[in-house]
Amino acid sequence: MCLSIPSKVIKLDLERNVATVDTMGVKREAGLELMEEGDVKLGDYVLLHIGFIMNKIDEEDALESLNVYKEILEKLDEQERQELIEKDDNCQNRGK
């Protein structure tokens, strides 16, 4: 449940156990208490919830999903094109 947003880690302060994260230009400190030591690195994409980092976003999985969506769109575009061609082929008014 609950509002949680992807952010990028731009600074680490291991003494205080906090990271500075950036969400579209808004920077905030977030606690690392819920992450294993050494798990979070600069440049990581993480999920932020009420002031804590709660996990790392798996970049490969994210890109894979985005790729799947790209393929869906390409397939649908192709389908639409085919349908338009068929519609055109079957057009009664052709040549009139």
Partner 1 sequence: MADLTLKDLYDGFRNPNVIKGLTKLINEEAKKLPHSINIMEVCGGHTHSIMKFGLLQLLPQNINFIHGPGCPVCIMPKERIDHAYILSMQKDVILVTLGDMIKVPGSLGSLQDARANGADVRFVYSPLDTLKIAKENPNKKIIFFAIGFETTTPMTTALIDVVLKRRFKNILFHINHVTVPEVMIELIDSRDEHVDSYNNRIDAFLGPSHVSVITGSKIYEQFPTKYHRPVVVAGFEPVDVMEAILMIVRQFNEGRCELEIEYKRSVSYDGNLKAQALIENYFEKTDLFKWRGLGNVPDSGYHLRPEFSDIDAEKIYANILPRKEIEDHKLCICGDILRGMAKPDECTIFGKACKPQSPLGSCMVSSEGACAAYYKYGNLLK
Partner 2 sequence: MNKQITLAMGNGGEENNELISKIFYKAFKNDILEKSEDAAVIHGGALAFSTDSFTVSPLFFPGADIGKLAICGTCNDLAMMSAKPKYLTCSVIIEEGFSTRELEKIVRSMKKELENNNAIVVSGDTKVVPRGSVDKIFINTTGIGEIQKEGISSNNISQDDVILVSRDIGCHGATIFAAREGIELSSNLKSDCASLTHQVQALIEADVQITALRDATRGGVSAVLNEWAKQSNISIEVDEKSIPVSTEVEGICEMLGFEATNLANEGTFVLAIKKEDAQKALDVLHKFENSSNAVKIADVNDEYVGRVVLMSPHGTKRFLDTPTGELLPRIC
Site residues for partner 1 per CB under 8 A: 1-4, 6-8, 22-24, 31, 33-36, 45, 47, 49-52, 54-55, 57-66, 69, 72-73, 76
What is the rounded CA–CA span in Å between residue 54 and residue 49?
A: 7
Q: How far is the CB of 70 from partner 2 (least distance, A)?
A: 17
Q: How far is the CB of 9 from partner 1 (least distance, A)?
A: 11
- Interacting partner of 12 out of partner 1, partner 2, none (Cβ under 5 to 8 A depending on kind): none
Parallel/antiparallel/unpaired status of strands 5-13 and 18-23: antiparallel
Give me the residues that bind partner 2 (CB under 8 A), please. 1-3, 5, 23-29, 48-50
What is the rounded CA–CA span in Å between residue 14 and residue 72?
A: 43
**What kind and span of H or E run contains 88?**
helix 59-89
Which lies closer to partner 1 via its Cβ, residue 17 or residue 91?
A: 17
What is the rounded CA–CA span in Å between residue 42 and residue 32?
A: 13
- Interacting partner of 76 out of partner 1, partner 2, none (Cβ under 5 to 8 A depending on kind): partner 1
